[in-house]
Chain A
Amino acid sequence: MIPELGHFALILALLVALVQGTLPLVGAAANSPRLMAMARPAARAQAVLVAFAFGCLAWSFVSNDFSVQNVAANSNSELPLQYRVAATWGSHEGSLLLWTLMLGGWSFAVSLFSRNLPLPLVARVLSVMGLISVGFLLFLLFTSNPFERLVPPAVEGNDLNPLLQDPGMVFHPPLLYMGYVGFSVAFAFALAALLGGRLDATWARWSRPWTTVAWSFLTIGIALGSGWAYYTLGWGGWWFWDPVENASFMPWLTGTALIHSLAVTEKRGAFRSWTVLLAILAFSLSLLGTFLVRSGVLTSVHAFATDPARGVFILAFLAVVIGGSLALFAWRAASVGLGAAFGVVSRESTLLGNNILLVVAMASVLLGTLYPLFLDALNLGKISVGPPYFDAVFYPLMAPAAFLMGVGPVARWSAAPLPELWTRLKWALGVALAGALILPLVLGRWSPLIAFGLFLALWIFASTAANLRQRLASTPRRGLLARLGANSPSYYGMLLAHLGVGVFVVGVTLVKGYEVERDVRLDVGDSVAVGNYDFRFLGVTPAPGPNYRALVGTVEVRKGAQLVETLKPEKRIYNASGQAMTIAAIDTGLRGDVYVSLGEPVGAGGSDDIAGAWSVRVYLKPFIDWIWGGALLMALGGFVAVSDRRYRLAVRRRATAFDAAAAPGAAD
């Protein structure tokens, strides 16, 4: 009964979404307040219905209702409760329902926090989001119904993919989708601006917080996914340039460009058509990501459920949404205009430079991801593009971007005289150069790449400090605290996010520069010296788990004679599926991780001889946690920036917004 209620709620949601997607749009065109006013209640009703359907599915999972095909295929009565909940979005159908739920949630939020917005804009934004929802609900109901019954019901479920039975995977998809789907708000704002022909500083101010929040969630989601890959795949890698990782990374790169472009549009009225294009692209790439993952056009470990009929549907949906919005852009962008002009060296030009680098980086990732598909489509053979391509293309693009990141916030709007930039940044440059030359020697080994990476990180730190110093010096208050308090959260959010990039660069540089990876065969009692540590293997013992049998190894880590840590890497065999999983044991520290994972038994008795020798992977990963720490700082910066009161103030008259922004030296 409960699954049928969920199914029925989805059908109702589709009908409501149709109303939400059409009538307010017509109302905005015909200037009918009555039709436009339907947007908010429709959006809320739709969100509640989808949430109800989602609750029904979650209930079916929690109560082990194996008469539902989706539950039977993705859950098991032995599965612990938290993973039964997570299994709700562990399947293709469930993850799409989560997508739709997120879209409903964002629409609901827009309907709540839009009191200051003009009604036609709200109507258009919610309508566009309603139309997207229509597409997803149709897709769910016609090709991927999560409530499909299984006749006769299964006695026992097939179990959730063991790879997904992990705390990181409980949170990764919802956070990632919050980000993906959150870009739909910026997208809807962009289309509303194109439709209404109104695109100005106030429009940018409305779009900014939505975009920043979505971007922050996406950042955390990607970081969680990367951390998950690090400790569950057992190879110590944190980024694989896997098509699905790329699918989430492309919207992130575009979203990053969009955030900065929106800042310029708000402050200076410039970059308007560029901002609109980025908003369309960010969400289009989120949709493309969904297509790539769900249609199975690319091989990937993530493509759990692939089905050509679904692929055709998503492709048609992509054609309508992306094709339609880009056609609208081609038709209306000219009326939006380019906005104010700016000097060759100015804050605008550095931001534009960074935007272009980010978009080119995104395009190169897109090309690398789809290249195998292009070649196959042209009958030129089947190939796969791996890390060598991405490393070769991506780092050289990001290095100048990291450098410009130090210059941009210090440069003046409109025109920044070079001598002035030099005075402001010479100390930062000196500190970064000196640190880059000396630090690698302190850390161990000097190499040009390590020095260069550290230079970029130190440059970001030092130029951010220089920016703060100069900002405080020019704040017309007495006393440090008063000066600190006089600056806006959005300014501090920007600093925090930029520091996050610096921290991230430190992590990447030092891991790539100094990591040690040893795969060794260890008999019980054997030791191996790696770096400054001594690893002693004490054998493997069986241990029970809730829905798996584990083999737990014991490895003592010593530094000199002192015991640092006893690590217990695991090998698990899941009861229901018989699949094996490797759980690495990691001693995490600010200065780096000690990572041990079990390979295979290699004793004399063959693969069943668990009491004998094992192949063991022993890795030292210096400063690796800085990678995720940096990502979290970036996201935190985003949230801090959004807390700025400015975004919640009643909208001033349109005219004054531009005047204020055009004043010389207007901040951030």
Chain B
Amino acid sequence: MLIGKIVSSSSHVEYLCQVYGVGEAEPAPMPADYGFGTFVAIEESDGAELIGVIYDTTLMNPEFGSLGPRLSPQEDLRVFSPDYLSERVTLVGVVALGAMGPDGAVHQGVPAVATTIDARVRCLDPDEIRAFHRVDGDRPGSGLQLAYLPMLTGMRSPLTPYLMLDVIARVMRLFPEEAPRLALLSDNLAWKARVEPVG
């Protein structure tokens, strides 16, 4: 399901996605579709995709601050100035966690190639999330991987610890057999995110 398009970036891995408004996509994305911690794919032109997660949400409203009376009532704006209304948008921050090639090859961590403006962003379904987190092969460490977590810890956002907790919780639901390992990570993060800062 499409939820928006890339409109800006603040680093090689942090992108700003403008959520599609009414009429821009069918069906129109609902807030639950682009919630905090949602796994998304940013479509590339060559069929590859950057895999990311939503880590922040900003509501843009040009009307905020203009508290004076308006000549046109709110209802008439829809008819006479629809472009004005379309300036109200929801922006979500997406941090790229890795990439999936057209052949399904998974790379976790900083992607080699950045995406482009207007690249489409869609939600990942559970099977795609599983595929992104499973590294196959006989080499040590094959199986479930969250190799992007160390990269997340370097982000400046105060929401980062909670993002990591949310990501681990989502992955745990998809990989119940890995619960002990994930719980260990989660417990440690929860202690640092929830108990230590308050003490």
Q: Is chain B a partner of chain A in the same complex?
A: no
* A residues adjacent to B (C-beta < 8 A): none
* B residues adjacent to A (C-beta < 8 A): none
